[in-house]
Structure 1
Amino acid sequence: MSDPDGAGRREALKRVAVSLREGGVGFALAGGYAGWALGGPEPENDVDFVVTETDAGRAAEVLAAAGLDVAHPPEDWLFKVYSDGAMVDVLFRLASETVDDELLGRAVEQEVLSVRMPVVDATDLIIGKLAALNEHACDLSKVLPTARALREKIDWPRAEAATADNDLAVACLFLLRRLRVAPGSPTP
């Protein structure tokens, strides 16, 4: 699906959010578009939402009933929704961690594209981006611009503690401190 100017992604974002809210499913905008809603750069890929694992089946039913095309890929941590020529991922696990009511409870309710919706908080967003770093997916361009844009909103000690067992996340945090995006002095 091609959507070079992002218009389809933005429409899909609104349709999915409104459908989930009207269906009574707890959710939050996540990923690159959450970063954008919080003040970061607009992403050029899909839209992400999170729901709890226990609500995933109901969320898929609600979205299908709203006329959206729902697909279940082989991955067991998300399903996909197609709308307005764009793809939306609905995740119920982030970096192998189950999405829970606590994460959704930290989401910030705000207006995104004239639609009120919960948006994951900046710290949970950066934790997800850091935790996703691994030997096969170590693209810092998915982390650095968001971290720079949201640096004042991030609880850096919580992000560091949550990703301390991921060597690539630790290295990225070192770089973020060295670039003066994250507070503190880089330690060798």
Structure 2
Amino acid sequence: MSEEAQQRLREALKTVAVVLKEGDTPFALAGSYGLWARGAPEPVHDVDFVVAEEDAARVERLLADHGLEVQQPPEDWLFKVWQGDAMVDVLFRALRVPVTREQLADVDCLEVESVLMPVLSATELMAHKLGALEEHACDLGKVLPAARAVREQVDWERVAEETGENPFADAALHLLRRLGVAPERPNG
């Protein structure tokens, strides 16, 4: 991705965050940009925010009312916001589970590109990243640098509990333990 395209993505991140803050609805930066805000390598695809499922329709209207292009894709767990060619995903379900306002309390307010915004905890972000691994999307080349960068911020046992049903997440955790990124399980 070119530096100009990367800058447009960062501008879209800031624009959406400012609109969401003005809307007074709980939200948080999520996904790879959430990890980036916590020290991981910068992603090149899109920005992810999460909102509670009960607030999704209102947030969608809010963003559209601020002149952003909002699209409803076939997936029933998010909508997309475009600022030019920069895409922002707004998720209201994560790993097939509705996002709740209570979950959005597990955030830290961090300055991201000069905008103070809520960011999901590193533990929640890694649980989402590992939980999303599956047969057609299992690129550990993206997981390892992010996990290494935020490893001290993560409750790895909680990540293991939250992703325990996913064999791809289990394999990734095994590798992270073998590499010394995540600690060995207490019982060996």
TM-score, with length taken from structure 2: 0.95
Partner of 1:147: 147
CA distance in 1, matches of 2:43, 2:58: 28
- Report the CA distance between 1:135 and its aligned residue: 1.2
CA distance in 1, matches of 2:30, 2:185: 29
CA distance in 1, matches of 2:31, 2:82: 17
| Corresponding residue SS for 1:82 | strand
Q: Which runs of structure 2 are paired with 1:1-188 in the superposition (5 Å)?
A: 4-5=2-3, 6-184=6-184
| Aligned 8 A contact 1:9 1:84 in 2 | no
| Aligned 8 A contact 1:178 1:185 in 2 | no
Deviating more after overlay: 10-19 vs 137-146: 137-146
- Report the CA distance between 1:99 and its aligned residue: 1.1
Q: Runs of 4 or more off by more than 2 Å in structure 1?
A: 185-188
- Report the CA distance between 1:140 and its aligned residue: 1.2
| Aligned 8 A contact 2:50 2:91 in 1 | yes
TM-score, with length taken from structure 1: 0.95
CA distance in 1, matches of 2:187, 2:46: 36
| Corresponding residue SS for 1:101 | coil
| Corresponding residue SS for 2:173 | helix
- Report the CA distance between 1:181 and its aligned residue: 0.3
% identity of equivalent residues: 56
- Report the CA distance between 1:130 and its aligned residue: 0.7
Aligned residues: 186
Q: Which amino acid aligns with 1:15?
A: T
| Corresponding residue SS for 1:109 | strand
CA distance in 2, matches of 1:85, 1:113: 19
CA distance in 2, matches of 1:143, 1:105: 25
Distance of aligned partners of 1:25 and 1:185 in 2 relative to their CA distance in 1, 3 Å threshold: closer
CA distance in 2, matches of 1:58, 1:112: 24
| Corresponding residue SS for 1:165 | coil
| Corresponding residue SS for 1:143 | helix
| Aligned 8 A contact 2:157 2:185 in 1 | no
Deviating more after overlay: 93-102 vs 42-51: 93-102
| Corresponding residue SS for 2:87 | strand
| Aligned 8 A contact 1:13 1:88 in 2 | yes
CA distance in 2, matches of 1:153, 1:161: 17
CA distance in 1, matches of 2:187, 2:43: 31
| Corresponding residue SS for 1:100 | coil
| Aligned 8 A contact 1:49 1:89 in 2 | yes
CA distance in 2, matches of 1:187, 1:169: 19
C-alpha distance after superposition, 1:62-100 (max 9, x if no partner)? 000111000000100000000143000000111112111
CA distance in 2, matches of 1:187, 1:178: 15
